[in-house]
Amino acid sequence: MHFSPRFEVFGMVFDIPTMIMIVVTSLVVLLLVTGLTRNLTAGVPKGTQNLMEWIVDFVYGIAGGFMKPKVAAKMVTLGVTLFLYIFIGNQLGLLFNVNTSHHQISDSFMDMLTLSTSEEAKEQKVHHIQEELANPEGHGVVVAWWKSPTAAPSVTFALAFIVLLYSHFLGIRKSFGGWLKHTFLNPIHILEEFIIKPLTLPLRLFGNIFAGEVLIAFLLAVGVFGSIPLFLWLGYSVFVGSVQAFIFTTLTMVYISQQVNEDH
């Protein structure tokens, strides 16, 4: 079992490894886009510009399937950002693991590792850590510092919240009356907009990435006998991470189109 150090500010709990990976993912996306667009030309694209144009065309194709071309063009920046961030974030946990093993833990670090929303959960973590420390043949308490940011529900729910909030903003800006009618007139729409979408959009992404990393950790623990299954699962996880980035971006465009299309 891996633990994550956390700290609390004004009643809010912050997971340090997740915060680190959010920054790392953002920097990787920034450096990638900067590198792909360094030598842009209006003529025949060459080298890395081909890849960047393919990504833009790919996202534009997704948006264009649900919106008019002029509106779809305005959503390309959002779509490319989401697709690259989620795609890269999904893959980072597959590259390698950065874990530290501790056989002695200070009281302050113990508090960070066992910080929970309930006393019962905290007591369970303390008990498990004490068992790991007392086991002379064990690896000690393992702290995970490197993982996919999308394996944390706080990240996927934040992404979904931003997307849904932005879609409602566009709907209100287009027609406040139309937005009210679409959102609140039908009980099914209320259920869809405030329960189904906010839950299914982030949980689908989180569940797939988290489950994949759990299985990878298990196969690594098995040792040499898990080498072949691990290799196969890593390849499959790359595929799943790519598909989940595509699905999230597609659903984003679908939800926005429901707010901005003329038949809204």
The pTM is what?
0.89
Question: Is there a contact between 234 and 92 (Cβ–Cβ < 8 Å)?
Answer: no
Note the helical H segments in 175-226.
176-184, 187-191, 197-222
Residue 1: predicted pLDDT: 66
Question: Is there a contact between 241 and 90 (Cβ–Cβ < 8 Å)?
Answer: yes
91 CB neighbour count, 10 Å cutoff: 19
pLDDT per residue, tens digit, the chain (264 aa), is 678 899 999 888 899 999 999 999 999 999 999 998 887 777 777 778 888 999 999 999 999 999 999 999 999 999 999 999 999 999 998 877 778 888 888 889 999 999 987 888 889 999 888 888 888 777 788 888 888 999 999 999 999 999 999 999 999 999 998 899 888 888 888 999 999 999 999 999 999 888 877 777 767 666 655 567 767 777 788 888 899 999 999 999 999 999 998 665
Nearest to 235 by CA among 249, 221, 218, 215: 215
The number of domains in the chain is 1
- The secondary structure of 144-181 as a DSSP string is E----GGGSHHHHHHHHHHHHHHHHHHHHHH-HHHHHH
CA atoms within 13 A on the CB side of 104: 0
| Exposure string over 236-262, b if 16+ CB within 10 A, otherwise e | ebeebbeebbbebbbbbbbbbbbbbee
The residue segments making up the domain with residue 135 are 2-260
Question: Is there a contact between 108 and 8 (Cβ–Cβ < 8 Å)?
Answer: no
